[in-house]
Amino acid sequence: MQKKGYYLIVLGMIFFSTVVSAQTKKKYPKSEWYISWGYNTEWYTRSNVHINQPELGNDYTFNRIKGHDKKGWDNRLFRKAISIPQYNYRLGYLFNPQKGWGVEINFDHTKFIFEDGQDASLTGKRNGKAIDTTVRFSKDDGFYYYLNNGANFLLFNLVKRYELISTKDGNLKLDFLGKAGIGPVIPHVENSFFGGANTPHFQLGGWNVGLEATVKATFFKYAFLEYANKLDYARYSNLKIYKGTAKHAFGTYEMIMSIGVNLPVGKRTAL
């Protein structure tokens, strides 16, 4: 009699857990789009810039240059056009929302500016003669190097979403997204070396790879807020300068805050 009671209790628990599980199964759309907009700040590794001006007999390198960003949103944010500060946008598509797989177009309008007033090591050949010296890198001395209308990282990312916590009604949800991608850089190049200034311009200027870790808080299923940390390596080549080209590569640590909206496709079904 005791064994029968024990079996009934076990069967009842199994039945109850099955019913609860069925009632709390998560519902997913067939697929899901999302779009976001936000602002960013960056820190850069020291980097070398190689200058090649065959017509002038120049083939030299600025070594271990310090660069910084130019936020634009840290003062008078709401009195400037939204495209002036360092901004970013994401356009993503989750083709399997249940398992969290998706793809994304990932663009960061970042700015890289050589730190003005630094003493820059210069080695190589200038005017056909070997040099190993130091120059004061400042606009007053005829030196500046700006990717100020953008170092401009464009990535095509693979995305994996991990669901962390969610309320029963799904109106508050917290996810983690891991992203990895590769793509071109589209810099705006403005510079002067020894007083020889280029004509500022946009160009396709190389490639970059990036890894991004994002925490995403979704409210009422559609609106969301994101905080992301990103590592990027960008390699620029054939940047047009006065009577020549430049090569440049650097690593970036980036923090990003964005707002956005989810756009589910198809009726949500329990899976």
For CA atoms 99, 208, 230, 41, give the dihedral sign: negative
Segment 199-229, tens digit of pLDDT: 999 999 999 999 999 999 999 999 999 999 9
Q: Which domain holds residue 78?
A: 28-270
Buried/exposed 89-103: b ≥16 CB within 10 Å, e otherwise: ebebebeebeebebb
Question: What is the DSSP-derived secondary structure letter of residue 80?
Answer: S
Residue 23 has pLDDT above 70, yes or no: no
| pLDDT computed for residue 269 by the predictor | 67
Whether the predicted pLDDT of 175 surpasses 90: yes
Residue 15 within a domain: no
Asked if the structure places residue 232 within a domain, the reply is yes
Whose CA is closest to 88, among 261, 259, 253, 210? 259
Q: Give yes or no for a contact between 143 and 193, defined as CB atoms under 8 angstroms apart.
A: yes
State yes or no: pLDDT of 9 exceeds 70: no
Single pTM value for the model: 0.86
> Looking at the domain assignment, is residue 78 inside a domain?
yes
| Amino acid at residue number 7 | Y
Per the structure block, which two tokens stand in for 7?
A: 């079996």
Q: Over 80: is that where the pLDDT of 135 sits?
A: yes
| Cβ atoms of residues 232 and 153 within 8 Å | yes
Report yes or no on 2 lying in a domain. Answer: no
C-alpha span between 146 and 154 (Å, rounded)? 18
State the total domains in the chain: 1
Does the pLDDT of residue 244 top 50, yes or no?
Answer: yes
How large is the average pLDDT for residues 58-70? 95
Give the model's confidence band at 26: pLDDT under 50 very low, under 70 low, under 90 confident, else very high. Answer: confident
Count of beta carbons in the 10 Å neighbourhood of residue 20:
10
pLDDT bucket at 115, cuts 50 / 70 / 90? very high
Identify the pLDDT of residue 77.
60
Examine residue 4 and state whether it is found in any structural domain, yes or no: no
Q: What CATH number does residue 47 fall under?
A: 2.40.160.20
Phi, psi dihedrals of residue 156, rounded to the nearest 5°: -110, 105
CB atoms within 10 A of CB 40: 24
